[in-house]
């Protein structure tokens, strides 16, 4: 229960700020459906500003001040001041936090070692965070906070790190086994150029680098150069083409309802324009996660916003379906579409579960132990802009603490199945058993599939074919912890056994309805603690790699995000250090996309933590090109199948070094936290030609075959048409 109690502790901003935002929005010209939804959000959100909500530091500070004013009990006041100082730290007010903690330390007996250590840890983190704010945020550069810290990213103002180091030395002299303090002290030394030579030898932690051969060339963060580095709290990301000009745009969100969404249009010349105001998205509060869809088959990608995740009873906030009007604007159609509900969630998957050519949506809601149940929802598309909720009738109204959902056809029977990742520890596989022209039905086959025997709390997840055998496998990211993740990072560095804490689990499809846990076999042994995650092919070898945004709400959980390279479908290599993508700040929505049209997938990540004081700039890691491998981009359009072609299967066959091989892809947005473009980027290794492309459309099951298509090109394929269209995209010199 520790993880549940903690992850519900502290929260967004004060009611006054949200009210100002709402008032500002209300005074502007607004499409009526948007205004209706804003009013509903305001009404549903009013109970969240409560000191009992652990994600509300402003309310907690106010509550503490009231107790301080009316209490004279010394022991009570000490605890209240500690609580207030922690809330101030979460609000980003490090100086006030330091002032309170230092005063408490001065008044605490030196014999009270436990109390002093607790206060000193808060003080050290406050100094660390102050140093990050002064240097990594106010003086942000592309190398800021990339682990291991490079010479270019060392702090100019080293006061915060130096003070933190002195405190950590004191803590470790009293308790040499304090792994959290050990890890954070090593990080602090890095920021002032003192690592490794100045770190006390008994506390020195070595930098892990599995990529000793440097197979991956370093990426460069260019988000600031393109204006894509907006700083805010945890949230989602979509990289896709929202105006159908062929170039990927960027939409981001924050889980802070006082922070509107942001939309950056790709200008097709290497620059982006912030269209948040003109599109109407700046008028809409964001959500912890967002995903694209085309619910009305009009050819323009819409946006589904997910809200309330982690917040329990304070998270009964409506999601939003934002219709793309095709003219650069979006309209909230949640209420009129029938998707209006009030449940805490951050995860959903869009797919055509009944093969009628229209996208449906399954929403994974969060039900906490001993709290009100929030069953998962399944909305079937009525083909007229509305949906009908049928989860109970379809036997998929799962009640669990769902943190990730993904959909795909794991048994190749032509029906789209569902997998759920939960903090209860259960891994739930729902097999689609819908009969032709019959009602949608699912069957829980978790036990038969071999997925129910290992209980591990888990977070993001996805279906993918990591070994290119034509059968979908499952990756799910473990999220087991009991405190700051810094202690786990230090333990791993010292080869201390961690069991399954924070590990990544890979389940290989056995082609018979069962799965095998091959995590250890493929080398997925390191910790990650992923929150945001997605996959792509960074070196165009045809095998899917993946990137994880890591962290938890604690401000001391400064661990690197992780990049894993797929080694020919047989193993995975942690290439984080050589790729220079191990940001120590909190990582959330992840998207793989080729931003400069050079044929190499780049990585965009929505950064920022659970508190306003843990906000951080987003990153766009530009791929410099890893080799001379070739590729092809496939943009599919359904006619009988859904227009976005979600669920369509792709097989690309070619000869590499005179050996026949195939690469398999399913059209989707990738992982369950962060969205890739629906256009599929497919690497073909060193092959200089493609023998054929096979497209299996989901509704009819018909296979279209296209022989000898051009490589290193963009191809659009329309269902039923035998004439693919090759189109050109300008290559940009992004820096």
Tell me how far CA of residue 389 lies from CA of 76, 300, 348, 703, in angstroms.
Answer: 49, 24, 14, 32
Burial of 392 (C-beta count, 10 Å sphere; 0-12/13-18/19+)? exposed
- Residue 20, pLDDT score: 38
179-191 and 485-493 are packed helices; what angle lies between their axes, rounded to 10 degrees?
80
Measured CA to CA, the distance from residue 54 to residue 610 in angstroms comes to 10
The confidence score (pLDDT) of residue 48 equals 67
Q: Please count the helices (runs of H) and the strands (runs of E) in the chain.
A: 15, 38
Query: Would you state the pLDDT for residue 44?
Result: 64
Strand partners, 504: 477
Q: Which tokens hold the place of 76?
A: 């009570």
Measure the CA–CA gap between 318 and 306, rounded to whole angstroms: 8
- Name the residue among 462, 452, 357 with its Cα closest to residue 405: 462
User: What DSSP element (H or E) covers 509?
Assistant: strand 504-509
Distances (CA, A) of 281 to 102, 130, 253, 332, 618: 44, 33, 10, 9, 18
List the beta bridge partners of residue 252.
237, 262
Q: Give pLDDT < 50 ranges for the chain.
A: 1-31
pLDDT at 454: 79
Report the distance separating Cα 605 and Cα 428, nearest Å. 28
Q: Could you please report the per-residue DSSP string of 23-76?
A: HHHHTS---HHHHHHHHHHHHHHTTS--TTSTT-HHHHHHHHHHHHHH---HHH
Q: Which residues fall within 8 angstroms of residue 259, CB to CB, at 6 or more apart?
A: 232, 233, 235, 285, 286
Does residue 621 contact residue 221 with C-beta atoms inside 8 Å? yes
Task: Give the per-residue pLDDT at 249.
Answer: 98
pLDDT of 22: 37
CA distances to 18, 371, 400, 430 from 343, in Å: 20, 13, 12, 21
Distance CA 588, CA 404 (A): 13
Contact yes or no for 641/719 (Cβ under 8 A):
yes
* Span 269-319, pLDDT tens digits: 999 999 999 999 999 999 999 999 999 999 999 999 999 999 998 999 999
pLDDT at 512: 98
| pLDDT on residue 45 | 65
pLDDT attached to residue 9: 38
> Can you give the pLDDT at residue 27?
39
pLDDT of residue 261: 96
């Amino acid at each position: 229960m520790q993880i549940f109690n903690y992850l519900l502790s502290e929260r967004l901003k004060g009611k006054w700020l949200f009210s100002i935002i709402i008032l500002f929005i209300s005074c502007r010209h607004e499409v009526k459906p948007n205004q209706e939804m804003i009013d509903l959000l305001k009404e549903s959100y009013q109970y969240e500003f409560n000191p009992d909500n652990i994600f509300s530091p402003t309310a907690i500070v106010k509550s503490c001040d009231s107790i301080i004013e009316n209490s004279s009990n010394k022991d009570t006041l000490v605890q209240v001041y500690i609580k207030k100082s922690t809330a101030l730290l979460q609000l980003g007010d490090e100086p006030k936090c330091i002032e309170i903690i230092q005063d408490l330390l001065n008044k605490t007996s030196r014999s009270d070692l436990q109390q002093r250590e607790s206060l000193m840890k808060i003080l050290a983190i406050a100094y660390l965070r102050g140093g990050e704010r002064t240097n990594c945020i106010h003086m942000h550069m592309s190398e800021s906070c990339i682990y291991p810290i490079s010479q270019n990213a060392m702090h100019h103002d080293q006061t915060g790190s130096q003070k933190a180091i002195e405190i950590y030395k004191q803590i470790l002299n009293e308790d040499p086994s304090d792994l959290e303090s050990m890890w954070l002290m090593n990080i602090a030394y890095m920021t002032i150029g003192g690592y490794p030579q100045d770190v006390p030898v008994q506390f020195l932690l070595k930098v892990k680098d599995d990529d000793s051969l440097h197979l991956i060339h370093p990426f460069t963060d260019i988000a600031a150069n393109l204006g894509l580095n907006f700083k805010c709290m945890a949230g989602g990301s979509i990289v896709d083409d929202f105006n159908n000009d062929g170039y990927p745009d960027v939409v981001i969100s924050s889980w802070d309802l006082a922070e509107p969404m942001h939309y950056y249009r790709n200008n097709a010349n290497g620059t982006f324009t912030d269209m948040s105001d003109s599109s109407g998205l700046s008028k809409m509060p964001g959500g912890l996660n967002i995903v694209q869809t085309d619910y009305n088959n009009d050819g323009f990608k819409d946006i589904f916003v997910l809200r309330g995740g982690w917040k329990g009873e304070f998270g009964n906030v409506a999601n939003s379906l934002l219709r793309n009007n095709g003219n650069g604007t979006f309209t909230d159609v949640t209420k009129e579409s029938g998707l209006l509900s009030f449940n805490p969630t951050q995860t959903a998957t869009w797919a055509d579960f009944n093969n009628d050519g229209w996208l449906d949506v399954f929403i994974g809601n969060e039900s906490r132990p001993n709290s009100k149940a929030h069953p998962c929802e399944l909305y079937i598309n009525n083909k007229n802009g509305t949906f009908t909720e049928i989860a109970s009738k379809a036997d998929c109204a799962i009640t669990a603490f769902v943190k990730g959902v993904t959909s795909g056809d794991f048994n190749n029977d032509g029906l789209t199945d569902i997998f759920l990742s939960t903090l209860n520890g259960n891994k739930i596989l729902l097999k689609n058993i819908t009969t032709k022209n019959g009602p949608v039905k699912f069957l829980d086959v978790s036990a038969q599939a071999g997925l129910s025997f290992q209980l591990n709390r888990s977070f993001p997840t996805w279906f993918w074919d990591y070994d290119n055998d034509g059968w979908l496998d499952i990756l799910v990211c473990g999220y087991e912890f009991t405190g700051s993740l810094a202690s786990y990072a230090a333990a791993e560095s010292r080869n201390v056994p961690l069991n399954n804490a924070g590990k990544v689990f890979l389940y290989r499809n056995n082609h018979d309805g069962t799965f095998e846990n091959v995590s250890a076999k493929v080398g997925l042994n390191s910790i990650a603690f992923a929150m945001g995650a997605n996959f792509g092919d960074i070196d165009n070898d045809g095998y899917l790699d993946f990137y994880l945004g890591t962290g938890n709400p604690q401000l001391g959980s400064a661990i690197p995000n992780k990049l894993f390279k797929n080694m020919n479908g047989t193993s995975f290599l942690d290439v984080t250090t050589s790729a220079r993508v191990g940001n120590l700040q909190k990582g959330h929505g992840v998207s793989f996309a080729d931003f400069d049209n050079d044929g190499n997938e780049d990585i965009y990540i929505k950064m920022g933590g659970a508190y306003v004081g843990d906000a951080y700039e987003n990153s766009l890691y530009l791929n410099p090109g890893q080799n001379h491998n070739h590729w092809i981009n496939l943009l599919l359009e359904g006619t009988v199948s859904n227009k976005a072609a979600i669920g369509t299967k792709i097989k690309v066959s070619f000869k590499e070094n005179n050996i026949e091989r195939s690469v398999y892809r399913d059209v989707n947005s990738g992982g369950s936290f962060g969205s890739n473009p629906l256009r599929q980027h497919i690497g073909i290794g060193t092959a200089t030609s493609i023998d054929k492309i096979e497209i299996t459309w989901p509704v009819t099951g018909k296979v279209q075959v296209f022989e000898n298509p051009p490589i290193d090109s963009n191809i659009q394929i329309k269902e039923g048409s035998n004439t693919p269209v090759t189109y050109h995209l300008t290559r940009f010199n992004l820096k």
